[in-house]
Amino acid sequence: MPTLRLPGLTDVHVHLREPGYERKEDFFTGTVAALAGGITTVLDMPNTQPPTSTPEHFREKAALAAQKIVCDLGLYIGATTTWGDAYLPVAAQACGLKIYVSETFGSLRIEDLALMHRFFRSWSETADLLGYRSSEIPHGIGPVAVHAEELMLPVCVELADLYDVPLHVVHVSRRSEVELLVRAKERGRRVTFEATPHHLFLSQADLPRLGALGDMRPKLGTPDDVAALWQHLDAIDVFATDHAPHTLADKGVTAPAESPPPGVPGVETMLPLLLTAVDEGRLSVEDIIARCVIAPRRIFGLPEQPDTYVEVDIDTRFELTNSAVRSKCGWTPFAGRTVIGRVERVVMRGKAALEGGRVVASPGEGVLLFQDRPSG
C-alpha cells in the first residue's frame, strides 16, 4: 500500500460549537474528527453561545478547550453589536478577529459602517501597541477575518487598507469575489483568502440531490463560480473547511425544523477530496501543503509542530459515508463519493495521536495556541 507522508494540516476555519451547541459538536469530538482528516491544528470560530466576544467568555472557552482537545487549537474572538470591541484585552491570545458582515448562523452579524470603522481602527491600534506591523507575527496578533459576500467584500478590503490591518477573507465562493480579490492582490493590498472543499467540489447543480444538506453560507455557487475558483487556484491562499456541524434533526432531515441552520461539516473529508483531485491531475500535493500548512502558518503566525505528520493510504479507493463520520453531526454532504486518501496514522510531537484510523490521543493532549503571547 503506497503511503503518503504529509505534515499535519491546519484548518483555519472550524466551528466546534462549544459552549452552547454541544449537541452538534464539542471540543473533543471536533478535534477527533479533525485528526481523522489529517488535521493537527484547527482555528475555532466565535459564533458559539455565548459568543467569544469578551475576555471573560474567551477565557471560559479557552479553559473548556484546554481540557478536551486532541489536536492543537486557536480561538478567534468575534465582533458583536452588544459587546463592541470588549475583546481587545485578549486580542493577543486569539488567533484573529472574526467579523460577520453577511448572513450566517448565530448572532454576530454587523451591519453598521460606524461600528466597522471602530473594529478595524481598534484592531489596528492594538497591533501598534503590540509592535505588530508585518505579516510575520510571532509575538503580535492575528488578522481580521471577515465573512463578507457581494458588496460587503470591497467595503472590508477598503477598511483593511484604510487602517493598515491584514485582512483574511473566509470562504470565498463567487466569480465576482474571486476576481475582486485577484485584482486587489495585484494592486498590492494586504489580503489573503480561503476556499472551502464544498465550494470547490459542489455546485448548485448538486442541490436537488442534497436538499437541506446542501445549504450553507455562502450558498453553493453556480458551475461558473466553481470554475472561477479552479481558474484562480494560484490566488487562493488557503483551503479551509468551514466545518459547521448541525445535527440531521437541526437540518430538518430526521425531524421537522422551521428554519434549518446553514452549514456543513468538513474536517474529515477535505484531505481525501483534495488528494482525489491530485489523482485526477487537477492539483498537486505541493498545492495542498502550500494551502493547508505553509500559508496558515504565515497568515496566523502559527508555531511549527515538530515531529508531526500524517500517513495517508493513497492507493485504496473508498466511499465517503455518513456512518464513518466521527463528528457528532453524523453526516457529510459528500456521502456516496469515491475517493482516495484514507488517513491511517497521525503523529503529533513524536507521539501517535491516531493509529489504524483510531484516535489514541487523550483529551487535553492538544495545545491551546497563543496563550503565552504577551498582551502588551
For Zn ion, the binding residues (CB under 5 A) are 242
Contacts (CB under 6 A) with ligand DOR, residues 39-98 = 47
Work out what residue 85 binds among ligand DOR, Zn ion, none; the CB cut-off runs from 5 to 8 Å by kind: none
Contacts (CB under 6 A) with ligand DOR, residues 100-119 = 104-105
In our burial notation (b when 16+ CB lie closer than 10 A, e otherwise), range 19-48 reads bebbebbbbbbbbbbbbbbbbbbbbbbbbb
**With respect to Zn ion, which residue has the nearer C-beta, 220 or 339?**
220
Q: Which three cell numbers stand for residue 230?
A: 479552479
Is residue 141 packed enough to be buried (19+ CB in 10 Å), middle (13-18) or exposed (0-12)?
buried
**With respect to ligand DOR, which residue has the nearer C-beta, 248 or 314?**
248
Work out what residue 263 binds among ligand DOR, Zn ion, none; the CB cut-off runs from 5 to 8 Å by kind: ligand DOR
Question: How far apart are alpha carbons 271 and 39 in whole angstroms?
Answer: 9
**With respect to ligand DOR, which residue has the nearer C-beta, 225 or 242?**
242
Closest residue by beta carbon to Zn ion: 242
The amino acid present at 113, given as its one-letter code, is: L
Question: How far apart are alpha carbons 151 and 154 in whole angstroms?
Answer: 6
**With respect to Zn ion, which residue has the nearer C-beta, 252 or 266?**
266
Question: How far apart are alpha carbons 170 and 181 in whole angstroms?
Answer: 12
**With respect to ligand DOR, which residue has the nearer C-beta, 119 or 132?**
119
Work out what residue 78 binds among Zn ion, ligand DOR, none; the CB cut-off runs from 5 to 8 Å by kind: none
Q: How many residues bind ligand DOR (CB under 6 A)?
A: 12
Work out what residue 140 binds among Zn ion, ligand DOR, none; the CB cut-off runs from 5 to 8 Å by kind: none
**With respect to ligand DOR, which residue has the nearer C-beta, 47 or 247?**
47
Residues 15, 174, 198, 199: which binds ligand DOR (CB under 6 A)? 15
CB 261 within 8 A of CB 247: no
Q: Is 8 in the site for ligand DOR (CB under 6 A)?
A: no
Site string for ligand DOR, 256-275 (x = CB under 6 A): -----xxx------------
Work out what residue 61 binds among ligand DOR, Zn ion, none; the CB cut-off runs from 5 to 8 Å by kind: none
Residues 157, 165, 244, 288: which binds ligand DOR (CB under 6 A)? 244
Question: How far apart are alpha carbons 141 and 96 in whole angstroms?
Answer: 7
Work out what residue 251 binds among ligand DOR, Zn ion, none; the CB cut-off runs from 5 to 8 Å by kind: none
Residues 61, 147, 175, 291: which binds ligand DOR (CB under 6 A)? 147
Judging by DSSP bridges, how do beta strands 191-195 and 167-169 pair with one another?
A: parallel
Own/partner pairs for 64-68, CB < 8 Å, 24+ apart? 64/18, 64/19, 64/27, 65/16, 65/18, 65/27, 65/368, 66/364, 66/368, 67/27, 67/363, 67/364, 68/18, 68/26, 68/27, 68/28, 68/31, 68/363, 68/364
Work out what residue 262 binds among Zn ion, ligand DOR, none; the CB cut-off runs from 5 to 8 Å by kind: ligand DOR
Question: How far apart are alpha carbons 32 and 22 in whole angstroms?
Answer: 15
Question: How far apart are alpha carbons 365 and 367 in whole angstroms?
Answer: 6
CB 38 within 8 A of CB 8: yes
Work out what residue 201 binds among ligand DOR, Zn ion, none; the CB cut-off runs from 5 to 8 Å by kind: none
Q: To the nearest whole angstrom, how small is the minimum distance from the Cβ of residue 59 to ligand DOR?
A: 22
Among 189, 219, 184, smallest CA distance to 204 is for 219
Contacts (CB under 6 A) with ligand DOR, residues 197-226 = 216-217
Residue ranges that bind ligand DOR, judged by CB under 6 A = 15, 47, 104-105, 147, 216-217, 242, 244, 261-263
